[in-house]
Structure 1
Amino acid sequence: MPDETRNDSRVSMTRGERVRAAARTLRTPRTASWVANETEVSVKTAQKYLDQLVEDNVLRKVEQGDQILYCVDQLMATYREVAALQREHSREELTSALDSMRSKITDWKQSYDLETPGELRASIADLDDTDEVETRREVASEWEHLADRVPVVRAALNEYDWATKRDSISA
């Protein structure tokens, strides 16, 4: 049944929509032919839409040997995320979120007497208790997520005044 649902949703999407949707989820650089295969379009069609996304600063085009690969433009994605945070949250909300994230990370460092989520993952090898293994995996995953979020929220706060002045509509 899940495959039928997947195919039904693909049928309702245009070729361009399928390529754009797949491209925005690329975690590793991929070729146009890989995207074409995933989205059931021709390589030429995939390339056309991927190149449009490069022009729109959504994707980056990277040459690797004789291949051209496409990947998410992380810098532009981060800029968009910072702008969204600034538009959707007050300075106080962002400050509270940053404080909360940093407190959680500090608590995990103290609780496990470790400095990084990688060290926490490595400590799993010494455990027999499956519940503790699962807990540490979940904490390590959350820790990695928060460690990635801290600089983004910090950037939103650092330029909050500058961004909100430029984002306001003057009448």
Structure 2
Amino acid sequence: MSESPGDGVQSWAESMNARERIRSVAETLREPRSVNWISEQADAAWGTTSEELQALVEQGQLRRVEDGETTRYRPDFTRLLFEEIRTLIEENTREELRNELAAITEEIEEWQATYDVETWEDLEQSLADGDLGSEELRERRDVIAFWRENEEDRRLIKHALELYSDVIAAREEMTDVADRATS
């Protein structure tokens, strides 16, 4: 049986309730968006969207941005950064983070040697070289995307390693406080 374009929306609507869809859209915002835009993307009623966005603002997950007469919403990027770092620390040992950092650095060094460049920006500049065929252009574009992603991952891992002891100590302190409170 073939799927119609509407099947994806119906599946989305069936698999998540309206508030879940609104949260899902809100979590993926890259730029401030209006209630109308988010409501349309989430396939949810305007009133439900407005209420849910306000709840997310109150929880600190979104920020309100006043744009003239329009209110827009965007993620709290600082909170997201710290949540990513916390997740890295909670899901990985220091050694695993160090190994991943080494693997990322090695991959970047290989690209630097392969393309005789220092940065992904240098590699991007090479795309203007008229001697490159379509396959080589695609390959370099893919490498640029991976390189940029690796640099972001490397930055997060470095932060996680810098904060590792502090987060572990804070977690242990919370556990000790909770244990004392229940005994």
TM-score (norm 2): 0.84
1:30-72 superposed Cα distances (whole Å, 9 cap, x missing partner):
1111011112223222121112112222222222233221112
1:9 to 12, 32, 44: 12
Moved more, 101-110 or 18-27: 101-110
Q: How does 1:1-80 map to 2 (within 5 A)?
A: 1=3, 3-80=6-83
Q: What SS does structure 2 have at the residue aligned with 1:159?
A: helix
Q: How does 1:88-167 map to 2 (within 5 A)?
A: 88-126=91-129, 127-167=131-171
Moved more, 64-73 or 31-40: 64-73
State the number of aligned residues: 171
Q: What SS does structure 2 have at the residue aligned with 1:28?
A: coil
Moved more, 92-101 or 41-50: 41-50
Q: What's the CA shift for 1:7?
A: 1.2
Moved more, 129-138 or 7-16: 7-16
1:121-141 superposed Cα distances (whole Å, 9 cap, x missing partner):
232222432221111011100
Q: Percent identity?
A: 30
Amino acid at match of 2:153: R
Q: What's the CA shift for 1:155?
A: 0.9
Deviating 4+ runs (over 4 angstroms): none
Amino acid at match of 2:78: L
- Which stretches in structure 2 are left out of the alignment for 5+ residues? none
Answer with 1 or 2: which has the greater Rg: 2
Q: What SS does structure 1 have at the residue aligned with 2:65?
A: strand
Structure 1 103/31 Cα, relative in aligned 2: closer, same or farther at 3 Å?
same
- Which stretches in structure 1 are left out of the alignment for 5+ residues? none
